Structure 1
Amino acid sequence: MRAGRPGFPGGTAVSHLTVYDWPTPDGLAGGSPHLHTASSEGYVVVGGQGRLQTLSPAGVAEHPLAAGAVLWFTPGTVHRLVNDGGLEIVVVMQNAGLPEAGDAVFTFPDEVLASPDRYAAAAALPDGDEDAVATAARRRRDLALEGYASLRAGGPAALERLYSRAGALVAAKATGWRTTWEQAVRAGVDETDRALTALGRGDAAHLHSASVHVGERQERTYRYGMCGRLRTWDVAAL
């Protein structure tokens, strides 16, 4: 069996998100539209009201969010959280470590997406006091909304162009992602495979390795993310 601490079930990551209540240029409050290139994302709504706007090859859609709702979506789904009041979510991310390593791509205007340097500058948040970081996060969100509006108006061709830009932006990172995925996800799948094989012959020896693990908070205070202020737990395999 694998030595060390196992990761959270399924190689997932967990965070608590309070969605931005900053007004947006289109009159709604909420977060930055973006997509993930390799990871699915799930929401468990724990408070407040809101909506999830999505854009995918299936078209434009909007999904209501309220306490108790559970919703998830696959890579390539452009998503935007709208906060109608006190929206709080427990986010479960597939492939722990990949989103943090750049799996997510903002829907900036195409001329920004076409330039890795311009994209990196637009996506970065500064070190400094909270007001400066908040101002930069809001400016980043509004730039993503500008591109998002063009995407919604541009039809399938605009979405196809976004996918092409996103693939180019993350191409150089994918090799490193594979190492993370093998350690966080594949190792757990292989471990289950071994356990099922053993159980099939009546061998339950792996149960002697049973253990309990506690994930520690990774931030002292909520930090500025894509969709809101969030805190994460250290739940990676060690």
Structure 2
Amino acid sequence: MVTPAGPALPHPLPGAVGLSHLSAYDWPAADGVCGGSPHLHLVCTEAYVVTGGRGAVQTLSPDGCRDIPLQPGSVAWFTPGTVHRMVQRDGLRVTVLMQNSGLPEAGDAVFTFPPEVLADPERYRDAATLPPGTGPGTEAAARRRRDLAVRGYLPLREALAAGDDGPFREFQRAAARLVRHNVPAWRELWRAGALAAAERTGAQLDALAAGEPAYLAGATAYAATPTRRGGYGMCGLRDEYALPGTTLPYADEDAPGGPTA
């Protein structure tokens, strides 16, 4: 009999993606734009599915600067290494889908802080850290963190718009250096999560080809409701889920990189 191989993990969402809901910040930054903290992910693609309101996402990548409009029904996604900044215009709310559930919670994100902050891991950690909870002190710290990220972001955008990708590429390299020590732990999370989910599909195909789909006897359904509402994320207030197959509990926003979006 052919049965699916791999770790016996709780069933994740399709493709072992992460899920949250996000209401974009309406705080104006130094350039007059209301929105979140610019950042990138090192190994995870992120997608926004817009469920309400209007806004945009500003992106920086080696192919230039973009301002992607967001409205109900829009879907936008960005690959690893793309700096993204959510812009609030009128009640923007999105569902966020993250590749490799567990890795964003383990810190797969780096803010666009100025170079001198990125060069010092302890200083970066202090700048990225938020107090626990959702009180006024946490909001004030989230605003300071966002403003520091915007301070580092604006020169990157200006240089890239002028055709100079040097500062942007140096930021990517600095971000990679900052998280390099996390790679062994991230690799284990990937093996237990996204890789295991893909391998289960391969084993299921083998079982079907052999005419012995015993795994179908375990068919079932799952449901979930938010386990935390209104947490301070990188881009806005987050409703989070502890989903089946999530390899880590949601980290507090005080972790450098913290939960995404």
Tell me the TM-score normalised to structure 2 length.
0.88
Q: Does 1:226 align with 2:226?
A: no
Give 2:204's match in structure 1, choosing from 195, 200, 215: 195
Give the distance between the partners of 2:220 and 2:236, measured in 1 at CA. 34
Give the distance between the partners of 2:195 and 2:216, measured in 1 at CA. 20
Give 2:126's match in structure 1, choosing from 95, 111, 121: 121
**Runs of 5+ in structure 2 lacking a partner?**
247-261
Q: Does 1:206 align with 2:215?
A: yes
Count residues in correspondence.
237
1:215 matched to which residue of 2? Answer: 224
1:127 Cα deviation from its structure 2 partner: 2.9
Checking the alignment, whether the CA contact within 8 Å between 1:108 and 1:148 is kept in structure 2 is yes
Checking the alignment, whether the CA contact within 8 Å between 2:134 and 2:232 is kept in structure 1 is no
Give the distance between the partners of 1:87 and 1:107, measured in 2 at CA. 22
Tell me the alpha carbon deviations over residues 49-81 of structure 1, each in whole angstroms, 9 at most, x when there is no partner. Answer: 001100000001110000010111100000001
Checking the alignment, whether the CA contact within 8 Å between 1:96 and 1:236 is kept in structure 2 is no
Identity of counterpart residues, as a percentage? 46
1:3 Cα deviation from its structure 2 partner: 3.4
Checking the alignment, whether the CA contact within 8 Å between 2:146 and 2:234 is kept in structure 1 is yes
Checking the alignment, whether the CA contact within 8 Å between 1:34 and 1:79 is kept in structure 2 is yes
Give the distance between the partners of 2:241 and 2:235, measured in 1 at CA. 17
Q: Does 1:27 align with 2:32?
A: yes
**Aligned-partner SS, 1:222:** strand
1:4 Cα deviation from its structure 2 partner: 4.7
More strand by percentage:
1
2:142 matched to which residue of 1? Answer: 137
Tell me the alpha carbon deviations over residues 130-177 of structure 1, each in whole angstroms, 9 at most, x when there is no partner. Answer: 110000000100110010011112331001111110111101111101
Give the distance between the partners of 1:150 and 1:4, measured in 2 at CA. 44
Give the distance between the partners of 2:103 and 2:186, measured in 1 at CA. 6
The letter of the residue matching 1:171 is: R
The letter of the residue matching 1:222 is: G
Q: How does 1:33-112 map to 2 (within 5 A)?
A: 33-112=38-117
**Aligned-partner SS, 1:184:** helix
2:192 matched to which residue of 1? Answer: 183
1:13 matched to which residue of 2? Answer: 18
Checking the alignment, whether the CA contact within 8 Å between 2:133 and 2:231 is kept in structure 1 is no
The letter of the residue matching 1:194 is: A
**Aligned-partner SS, 1:26:** coil
The letter of the residue matching 2:116 is: E
Give the distance between the partners of 2:245 and 2:134, measured in 1 at CA. 32
Give the distance between the partners of 1:201 and 1:70, measured in 2 at CA. 39
Distance 1:195 1:143, change over 3 A: same
**Runs of 5+ in structure 1 lacking a partner?**
none
Give the distance between the partners of 1:102 and 1:56, measured in 2 at CA. 21
Give the distance between the partners of 1:56 and 1:4, measured in 2 at CA. 36
**Aligned-partner SS, 1:17:** strand
